[in-house]
Amino acid sequence: MPVSKGERDKVTDTQQYIAFYARGQLFGIDIMETREIVNLKETTEMPNAPEFVEGIVDLRGEIVPVIMLDKRLTLTKNSEGSIQEDEKRVIIVSLQDNLIGIEVDEVEGIISLSKSNIKEAPELAKGINSNFVRGVGKFSDRLIIILNLDNILTIEEMKKIEKTMDLDG
């Protein structure tokens, strides 16, 4: 049976996000920007890396830097309850043609949001640098901050991370 234009518009009006928590705050990343979600492995600390870099991990032979989202976004709110280290997850994304791991406290799952339910972020989205925020969505009875991954790391920060990972030189 053919799909009506109204039904087709409904389908294209929604977008899927990986929903997760960092310091008790609900965030989302466009599912098309993510590669996979892995359990947090022990990281290897890298000297001279920016303070929000947890370290590096070996992901099936590829060295991937892991950033702590809460430190990158300078989140200060405490999470409800304590998150055990083995509960933390790393969302692997591709930024500026590099794989980056983003450490989060807990992954909620995949959610669908209608574009009409996502509004431009207020100037001060709970103390988060507005460059990091694409918008704020309404999901059930909660608000979810949709992150703009393109702005999470500057080109200079990415180069510094790459330089600290340069194992050859």
Nearest 5 degrees, angle CA 44-CA 127-CA 101? 25
Distance between CA atoms of residues 65 and 63, nearest Å? 7
In this predicted structure, what is the pLDDT of residue 8? 43
pLDDT tens digits for range 95-136: 878 899 999 999 999 999 988 888 887 665 555 566 788 889
For residue 147, name the pLDDT band (cuts at 50, 70, 90): very high
Best CA proximity match to 120, nearest among 136, 143, 131, 132: 136
If residue 50 lies in a helix (H) or strand (E), which one and from where to where?
none
The answer, yes or no, to whether residue 9 has pLDDT greater than 80, is no
pLDDT tens digits for range 44-93: 998 888 889 999 999 999 999 999 988 888 887 665 555 556 668 999 99
**Structural domains in the chain, sorted by start:** 14-165 (2.40.50.180)
Contact yes or no for 91/37 (Cβ under 8 A): yes
In this predicted structure, what is the pLDDT of residue 101? 94
Residue 134: strand, helix, or coil: strand
Strand pairing of 142-147 and 25-30? Answer: parallel
